Structure 1
Amino acid sequence: MRGREKGFLGEKIAADYLKSRGYQILDMNYTAKYGEIDIIAEHRNVIVFVEVKTRKNALYGTAAQAVDRRKQQKIIRTAHLYILFHQHDSLNYRFDVIEIYYNPPCPYKLNHIKGAFEV
C-alpha cells in the first residue's frame, strides 16, 4: 500500500472512530490557502480540527511527532480561515492528533490525542 492510499485509509478509520464516539464530521480534507485539515468535527459544542497520521510503526518516532511546530502553524492558519468562512454556534475549538499504526496483516492501533497543541 502506497503512502497516499495509507493516508486515505487512516483518515477513514479516524472518521469512523470519531463518529462512533458521537462526533459529527463537518468536513474532511478541508483545503485553504495555508494548507489542509484532515478532519473537522463537532463534539459537545467544540469544533475539533484533527490531523491524522498513519504509520507502519513507531520505529522512527511516533506519528504525532510528525506534527511539528511548522505543521501546527499551517493547521492553525487553515483553521482560522475555516472559522472565518463557516458560521458555527460554538466558540470553542480544539486541535487533536489521531495516530494510526497500520501494518497488515496486523490489526490497526489508534491513539487519539485530544488537545495535542494550542494556538
Structure 2
Amino acid sequence: MASHNDLGQKGEAMAKAHLEATGYEIMDENWVFGKAEVDLIAYKAGIIIFTEVKTRTGNYFGEPEDFVDARKQRLLVEAADEYIYLMNHQGEVRFDIISIIFDRNNNHTLKHIEDAFWPSAI
C-alpha cells in the first residue's frame, strides 16, 4: 500500500479516537455513496456529524483543511443527504473537518473544526 494511504488510515484512526474520547458515537466509517466517501459519521447530542479527515506531513502547500474544496463539499452533502434519508434522521446535521499534521519527528497536531462548512454555502 502506498505510504500516503497508510498516513490517511493512521489519521482516520486518530480522528476516530479523538471523537470517541470527546463523547461522540461513531456510526459509520468510510461510508460510500456514489463518488463520495465520508470518512467518519458520528452522533452526539441528537446531531449527526459528517466528518472529513485530512492528514498531511506538513503544511507547505496549505493547511490540510484547505483541501476540502467546493467539489468535495458537494459530494459530502450528497452522501449526507442519502445517509439522512436511509437513517430517517429528523434532527440536525453538521459537517466537520479533522485536520492532522505530522512533523519530521512523527509528532502531530490535530485540529477539529466543527461546522466547517454549510451545505447552503456550496
TM range (shorter): over 0.9
Q: Quick check: 1:35–1:78 contact (8 Å CA) kept in 2?
A: yes
- Write the letter of the residue equivalent to 2:116: A
Give 1:33 shift. 1.5
Structure 2 runs not aligned, ≥5 long: none
Task: Find out whether 1:115 has 2:122 as its counterpart.
Answer: no
Task: Find out whether 1:77 has 2:97 as its counterpart.
Answer: no
CA distance in 2, matches of 1:113, 1:11: 15
CA distance in 1, matches of 2:46, 2:92: 7
The within-5 A match list for 1:40-79 is 40-79=41-80
Percent identity of equivalent pairs:
35
Q: Size of the alignment, in residue pairs?
A: 118
Structure 1 runs not aligned, ≥5 long: none
Q: Deviations over 1:52-106 (max 9, x none)?
A: 0000111100000000001100000011111111134x51000000000123533
CA distance in 2, matches of 1:86, 1:52: 22
Q: Which runs of 4+ in 1 moved over 3 A?
A: none
The within-5 A match list for 1:1-119 is 2-88=3-89, 91-103=91-103, 105-119=105-119
- Write the letter of the residue equivalent to 1:50: T
Of 72-81 and 98-107, deviating more is 98-107
Please state whether the residue corresponding to 2:115 is helix, strand or coil: strand
